[in-house]
Amino acid sequence: MASRANSPEFRDVAVHLHPYTNARKHEEKGAMVIERGEGIYVYDTAGKQYIEGLAGLWSVAVGFGQPRLVKAAADQLAKLPYYHSFAHKSHEPSIALSEKLLQLAPGKMSKVFYTSSGSEANDTAVKLVWYYNNALGRPHKKKIIARIKGYHGITIASGSLTGLPYNHRDFDLPIANIMHTACPHHYRYAWEGESEEEFASRLAGQLDEMIQREGPDTVAAFIGEPVMGAGGVIVPPATYWEKIQKVCRKHDVLIIADEVINGFGRTGKLFGSNLYGIEPDMVVMSKALTSSYLPLSALLMNQKVYDGIADNTAKIGTFGHGFTASGHPAATAVALENIKIIEEQDLVANAAKQGEILQRRLRALADHPLVGEVRGVGMIAAVEFVADKKTKAPFDPAGAVGQYCFDRCQEHGLILRNLGDTVAFCPPLIIDEAQMNELLDRFETALAETLDWANSKGMAAE
């Protein structure tokens, strides 16, 4: 008993409040403590191997234990472990990374601002949109439109942009000037017989109506993930982004592309914006920017936005925004090396290639009694479970089937992410064909066991 109490699994319970966790349940269950990682695999303290099928949190592009990233961090820590970017100061890693990001980014970006997480970057985007419109003498043009089921972070502003109930409930969110328009999930929200193009037109029309109802002189920006991630891996319907952008341009509404999950190859293109023809005014990057080896995010803006901000800093005398770790030299050095690996190993092409296997084998499960929809693009996908395939009725209680499948996957050495009764896939971009097939074999074993369990509970459809 004493040895169990002294184990890291239960020491954790005594001291650690976990994100996205039922704290009371955690007190009973304890933690699964991951000790090391190698390639697409992680290992717990008992030595059990798991395929990390969500790349950590949608983020470890080049895999675990990549020695080049470790060396990049160590070399920079030995040379200049920290310096800030306030008051005209800079350092080579952040300069070089900014040059690289502007070269790679979708649209025509002009400047880069660094923070430490996607949440902070989206929070900064909100502040800069407000600052920009004040600079232009438009004090009422402040409303920002996000989407139901979109995910943009958890700070007060970015958590308000997020369109998921658990991120708002009892946090007194969303704040003023943040609004949400419809979720572009054709399977769930299209009318009967409505094509993807017709659905996209209807959603664009709803956005147009919202802007006109609020007043175009009050709506400042629209933010969206090219492919929605934590909301359930929702792929936009055909023509959606083309039509949404047209509405935004009509009303002089800035477009913010949240590439935190999509960026650096996840969709089979370098950025999701490249895949869908998005021409953003601002771009948010994080996660695969450093493969999450060190915390870093970047907010890029075009010349129009930068000029408005820069002129206002001259008027006021300074730019009153920034973080201690903005452009941290070790983090930006790691990001540079991480991008080199992505380019040298052609991991964007590998994402497209291995993504074909992922999408093909998952779609072969469409007739499975539990499966309502399989969706995804490139190397990101989801399987949604339903109680009735014809009516698309969800399970009651919601989330139980997804949790059971998640648990069975973990038992078979596969870590995925259950988003209610949807299971998400997002493996490291370095995964090869044999490993992808092993991942899917483990999932299919867990799925078969989930069906047996659902049948035993009388939950599966006839």
Phi-psi region of 245 (alpha: psi -120 to 50; beta: other; left: phi over 0): alpha
pLDDT at 2: 44
pLDDT at 3: 61
Q: What are phi and psi of 382, to 5 degrees?
A: -150, 150
pLDDT at 461: 60
> What span, in angstroms and rounded, lies between the C-alpha atoms of 208 and 245?
11
Torsion of CA 87, 91, 95, 98, to 10 degrees: -70
Domain ranges of the chain: 32-62+346-456, 68-344
Q: What are the tens digits of pLDDT across the range 245-292?
A: 999 999 999 999 999 999 999 999 999 999 999 999 999 999 999 999
Q: What are the tens digits of pLDDT across the range 123-182?
A: 999 999 999 999 999 999 999 999 999 999 999 999 999 999 999 999 999 999 999 999
pLDDT over 50 at 46, yes or no: yes
pLDDT at 303: 98
| DSSP-assigned beta bridge partners for residue 51 | 41, 414
User: How do beta strands 219-224 and 178-181 pair?
Assistant: unpaired
List the CATH code of the domain at 32-62+346-456. Answer: 3.90.1150.10
pLDDT over 80 at 401, yes or no: yes
Q: Do 32-62+346-456 and 68-344 have matching folds?
A: no
Rg for the chain (alpha carbons), in Å? 22
Q: What average pLDDT does range 432-456 have in this prediction?
A: 97
Q: What are the tens digits of pLDDT across the range 184-206?
A: 999 999 999 999 999 999 999 99
Whether the link from the prior residue into 174 is cis, omega within 30° of 0, is yes
pLDDT at 315: 97
pLDDT at 459: 85
pLDDT at 462: 52
Q: Which residue has the tokens 């017989």?
A: 193
- Could you tell me if 108 and 306 are in contact, meaning their C-beta atoms sit under 8 angstroms apart? no
Average pLDDT in the chain: 97
Q: What average pLDDT does range 315-331 have in this prediction?
A: 97
In 3D, which of 356, 405, 409 has the Cα closest to residue 385?
405
pLDDT over 80 at 4, yes or no: no
Higher pLDDT, 460 or 370: 370
**Which residues have CB under 8 Å from 328's CB, separation 6+?**
82, 114, 116, 294, 295, 296
In 3D, which of 266, 39, 234 has the Cα closest to residue 150?
234
pLDDT over 60 at 215, yes or no: yes
Least confident stretch, 23-32, 75-84, 207-216 = 23-32
> What span, in angstroms and rounded, lies between the C-alpha atoms of 239 and 183?
15
> What span, in angstroms and rounded, lies between the C-alpha atoms of 329 and 186?
43
**Portion of the chain with pLDDT greater than 70, in percent:** 98
Given the candidates 3.30.160.100, 3.90.550.10, 3.40.50.720, 3.40.640.10, the CATH classification of the domain at 68-344 is 3.40.640.10
pLDDT over 50 at 310, yes or no: yes
- Single-letter amino acid code for the residue at 402: G
Reported for 243-246, long-range contacts at CB under 8 A and 24+ positions apart, including other chains, are 243/200, 243/201, 243/203, 243/204, 244/203, 244/204, 244/207, 245/278, 245/279, 246/204
pLDDT at 1: 39
> Would you place residue 10 in the very low, low, confident or very high pLDDT band (cuts 50, 70, 90)?
confident
pLDDT over 90 at 86, yes or no: yes
Q: Which residue has the tokens 């497209």?
A: 352
